[in-house]
A and B are shown apart, each in its own frame.
Chain A
């Protein structure tokens, strides 16, 4: 048998129908649904007299619009947001979906609660009307974002019309240095490939530095595969993965667990498998990084200076100048001299317990710089509860951080957590696009430890000086 990549294996196991031209109906094992990209899909079902084919495989949760303040159960003030969350509530109940409403402690960001509840398992196909669905690839599941028309298609047929992508291997060799995290890996990779470098590919991340990551770290890496343009990111499952899945509410048990486990252990790329593109980075060469511009590819080590537009070529010259203008930055400025006024720790990229532990390690016994607005938004109600149990919440509050309820929050600012024009934020989220965190707001992406360090000094800061 010809050697296969991990992607090839998962793909082959899910083709329900293949047309002569190679167009496939790919069976979908898990469909995650949130309030922003689903209402039009449910409306489409109703208009055509269709129903949800597999409601038991369809998991719904409101996350984008929900307020994260402690008083949120009083209701959502913004009328449009409220209607959207109510629409999800109605759709979830009417079509009999698995549903975690806003008052359920298990509510949270869809990509955090899927794994947490054991819906995400190795070898699965997982989709969601959300580009950061790539997160679930950390389990060796083929997971990617889809549009609302495709959401409707999956609801109706439990399949997706797909053509196969190409295979790309990203290997991170060796070990990471102190202060360097999964976030630095994923940003460094995008810095290398550019935001279009992965277009048309599914990336498999491998190598010693990836193997050494926890599931939380692996989810951070895969989460941003989409920022490199890739359809999905994958990491082959191993003992770390199995250990994480075991005992989760919706993971198999007993003999079924054993059967699943023996299948999952076949999910790796064969030695001679063909990759269409390969990128190798040395773990030791990766520094703590930040973004300076308005594209996730605008990545530099924290020790660097703001570049000049002329440092680039082609269309990037104009784009870089536009970024510098938008970000209010002058070429040559040391990144460590850039002052910030806001810190946001959270999102589907960095809203898990390990992220909060990393932030707490830096913040313990220290105070946020005066005048700074700093907030921590846990990725789920259960992450929040665990952080309280471990004493992390006390550390955050004593340091001067706001300690919020779970949601997407200031990652995309659909709820009231927004930047004002000109405000500058150290953020652990995934996009630094113009206006992403609020019109005119300026975003620097980084790891939770780096964001915590920035909160203490009021400037972009090299976390290694605080270890």
Chain B
């Protein structure tokens, strides 16, 4: 997993609320047995018409935002299914950070496993960042994970919270399984005890 330290990038505004995982990556692209190559189909139904042409009204089809690495999104981003194909598609498109007032639980977890930082901000802060994102390709937003701060192109600074374990893993590009394997003796002990106390499991 790629480390996430500090990102200086174009942010794309997607104010629509409840952007669900079916919107982020429709089911016909879940048939892959790989993690890669999904970026071209991210937001497929919003992004392309029925003939496969780019929909000019969709924000990521706008030249100004084609190189965006940050999404500033409406409330409850990533609701719906558990498909990790959603963050895989975002990452493959180039998105490393999503900012919203709220994320669906499973999507939020999935982001951290893939080097994407999801940031929760207040309603007022989201409005400020949305306005900054609307400035297009001339503006750059800075997301600084170490200091847990977002800086707008005007130099306004917003602080955010993040779980310290997740921050550590993201900043160091650490693999969860490797870390858990270090604690496997606890699991062995737990399993042995359960075999006695709950043999039906």
**B-contacting residues of A (Cβ < 8 Å)?**
16-17, 19, 21, 23, 25, 27, 29, 36-37, 39-40, 43, 48, 50, 57, 64-65, 78, 80-81, 83-84, 87, 121, 123-124, 129-131, 133, 144-150, 152-153, 156-159, 161, 163, 195-196, 199-200, 229, 231, 251-252, 256-257, 259-260, 263, 295, 315-316, 318-319, 322, 412-414, 421, 431, 433-436, 439-440
Residue of B18, B20, B50, B106 with highest tally of chain A CB at under 10 A: B18
A-B contact sample (20 more), CB < 8 A, given A131-B82, A200-B105: A16-B186, A16-B187, A21-B163, A37-B82, A37-B83, A81-B31, A83-B33, A121-B200, A129-B82, A131-B80, A146-B82, A147-B110, A150-B113, A231-B105, A252-B200, A256-B199, A315-B75, A319-B17, A439-B26, A440-B50
* B31: min CB distance to chain A, Å: 4
- Any A CB within 8 A of the CB of B131: no
- Any A CB within 8 A of the CB of B76: yes
Nearest CB in chain B to that of A228: its residue: B79
Would A433 and B80 be within 8 Å (CB), given that A153-B176, A319-B17 are in contact?
yes
* B171: min CB distance to chain A, Å: 15
Task: Verify A435–B180 contact, CB threshold 8 A.
Answer: no
Task: Verify B183–A433 contact, CB threshold 8 A.
Answer: no
Residues of A within 8 A of B165 (CB): 19, 21, 23, 161
Task: Verify B180–A414 contact, CB threshold 8 A.
Answer: no
Q: What 4 A-B pairs come out closest when comparing CB atoms?
A: A149-B113, A80-B31, A252-B200, A39-B33
A-B contact pairs, 27 of them (CB 8 A): A17-B190, A19-B165, A21-B165, A25-B180, A27-B194, A36-B83, A48-B177, A57-B201, A64-B30, A65-B31, A83-B31, A150-B113, A153-B176, A157-B184, A157-B187, A161-B165, A199-B102, A229-B105, A252-B200, A315-B17, A315-B74, A319-B17, A414-B30, A431-B80, A434-B23, A435-B22, A435-B45
CA distance A259 to B200 in the complex (A): 9
CA distance A163 to B108 in the complex (A): 13
- Any A CB within 8 A of the CB of B32: yes
CA distance A129 to B109 in the complex (A): 13
Task: Verify A229–B84 contact, CB threshold 8 A.
Answer: no
Residues of B within 8 A of A413 (CB): 27
- Any A CB within 8 A of the CB of B191: yes
- Any A CB within 8 A of the CB of B69: no
CA distance A87 to B32 in the complex (A): 11
- The bracket for how many chain B residues form the interface is 35 or more
Residue from B31, B176, B190 within 8 A of A27 (CB atoms): B190
- Any A CB within 8 A of the CB of B139: no
Nearest CB in chain B to that of A130: its residue: B82
CA distance A181 to B84 in the complex (A): 33
* B139: min CB distance to chain A, Å: 23
Residue of B83, B87, B110 with highest tally of chain A CB at under 10 A: B83
Residues of A within 8 A of B79 (CB): 195-196, 229
* B127: min CB distance to chain A, Å: 11
CA distance A50 to B175 in the complex (A): 14
Residue of B15, B105, B164, B194 with highest tally of chain A CB at under 10 A: B105
Residue from B27, B33, B50, B103 within 8 A of A421 (CB atoms): B50
Would A434 and B76 be within 8 Å (CB), given that A43-B33, A157-B180 are in contact?
no
- Any A CB within 8 A of the CB of B114: yes
Task: Verify B81–A131 contact, CB threshold 8 A.
Answer: yes
Residues of A within 8 A of B18 (CB): 195-196, 295, 319
Task: Verify A25–B187 contact, CB threshold 8 A.
Answer: yes
Task: Verify B200–A260 contact, CB threshold 8 A.
Answer: yes
Residues of B within 8 A of A252 (CB): 199-200
CA distance A435 to B82 in the complex (A): 17
Contact with A along B26-43 (1 / 0, CB 8 A): 111011111100000000
